[in-house]
Each structure stands twice: as structure tokens, then as C-alpha cells.
Amino acid sequence: MIPIQETMAAIRKFAPDFTAKMGIVLGSGLGSIAEELTDHITIPYQAIPGIHSSAVAGHASLLVLGYLQGVPVVCLKGRLHCYEGASYESIGTLIRIVRQLGANELIITGAVGSLNPAMEPGEVMLINDHINLQPGNPLAGPNDESIGPRFVSLENAYDEELRGILLRVAQQINIRVQEGVYISLLGPSFETPAEIRAYRMLGADAVGMSVVPEVIIARHCGLRVTGLCVVTNLAVGLGTEKVTHELTLQHGEIAARKLLKLIPAFVKEVNRVL
């Protein structure tokens, strides 16, 4: 494991004085949000010790530091996935960079398939809880007490106060947002119809292949989390369209237009009230 101090020393060569207030993880097709940042500094993941690049379409593998609505933020433009062979160590390093840069809140975005027919492609879902079916746990193994405690509560993993602010902002700017439970799977294969029926019985509203490991790591290091999902398709067996990654990017772009309005307004409001 590469010490976080070594990782931060590499970042500080590019941005010696930057301090963030919030972080944003940008999922499939949502990288355009990083382009809204002003006075930005862009650092390739390859230049950061302990991190490798994503090979998935829609993930640019860039750390972008800048200002959104005048608020200093750090964007992870592209995430790492376990199904690519990325280690929990690399995923953890990315999230801990956000905390090390000074942020207290983290917005995690992702693309999902809807298990709820009331949530259609192109809509936005606010995560209020999750079910973790990823293999293992990113906190298994030795614990660094300087980062976070051995045992972490996930009772309020998706911060209730921040969810309230988000819903209020969404209503003000007339963007429909529904709350729901996210179920996280390894992937990269899409689910079978039988699996989707099982996940619905478990109480899941949406299915994806990321988010949860990042949330666990974020809570471990003290970041308050808001989870926002773009609905890219109805899960297999619930709709007529064939589920593909290309479809994910297509509908993700539609929903990204909503997040381009929603996230800046949310960041501004969080900065005002917290």
C-alpha cells in the first residue's frame, strides 16, 4: 500500500494550495459536469501514485480541481471498478484524496438500471440506502486509525440532512427526483431476469456496479455522502429495450443535463447552509 502522504505529495506538485469544500464522483456519461468548473487544474490518474486508469467508455480518469458556483470542489472524472480488476486499495485512495484535500461532503453519482417501473430512463434517483452484493468489503484487513475507526456505522450512509437539501433544491428548479434503494453488484455482466426478480423482492429500486465501495470508504474517513443516480434503462425483464452499455451512455447523457442544473445548485446551497 502506498502511503497517502506520498499520493498527496504528487497532487500538491500540480495544486500546492488548493483546498476543497466538496467532492464529486462522476459516473458513466457524467464527465461533462467537470467541464463546468472554473479555474480548474486537471491531473491524470496515471500521475497519481497508487491509482490506475479506467478503461471503461465514459470514464476519463482525471482528477479535476476547480470551482463550481464559486465553491472549491474536487471531481473524480471517471471512477475505478472492481470488475476491471481495480483493487479496493486504489478505489480507497481516490476517495481519501477528496478528504485529504479538505472536503467534508461527497456527491457520488452513477448510472443504474431501474427495478421500479415508476422510475424511467433519463430520470434521477436519490439514494436513501443500499444493499451490498459486491465481493468482500473495502475496509477488510488492517485498519489505519489515522484515517478512520475499525468499525463504521452505515446507518446514515446517505446523509439525511443532505438528502433534504437536495430534494428542496430539486423542487425549486423543477427537476423530478425520486428516492430509492441501490443494490450494488460486481458486474460486468448484466443481470438475468431471475436475478432482477430476486433483487426486487429484497427491496432494491435500482441496480448498479459501483457506488457502494466508495460510500463505505467515504464514511470511514468522515465524508458525508449524497448519492445521485441517473436511470439509464429499465432492468432486464421490465422493459422492451435490450440492456447495453451504449444505452447506458445514451440515457445517461439525457439525465446528465438534469444533473448539470441540479448539482451546481445543490453545491451552492450546501455551501450556504452548512
Catalytic residues: 28, 59, 81, 83-84, 111, 209-210, 233, 245
221: alpha, beta or left? (left if phi > 0; alpha if psi -120 to 50): alpha
Q: Residue 268 burial (CB < 10 Å; 0-12/13-18/19+)?
A: middle
3-state secondary structure of 153: coil
Report the relative pairing of strands 62-68 and 38-44 from DSSP bridges. antiparallel
The beta-strand segments (E) located in 1-123 are 22-26, 38-44, 62-68, 71-77, 105-114
CA 14, 103, 26, 267 dihedral sign is: negative
Q: What angle do CA 191, 211, 83 make, to 5 degrees?
A: 55
Quote the cell numbers at residue 61: 480518469
192 secondary structure, DSSP code: P
3-state secondary structure of 172: helix
3-state secondary structure of 230: strand
106 secondary structure, DSSP code: E
141 Cβ contact list (under 8 Å, min separation 6)? none
User: Taking a C-beta distance cutoff of 8 angstroms, is the pair 28, 59 a contact?
Assistant: yes
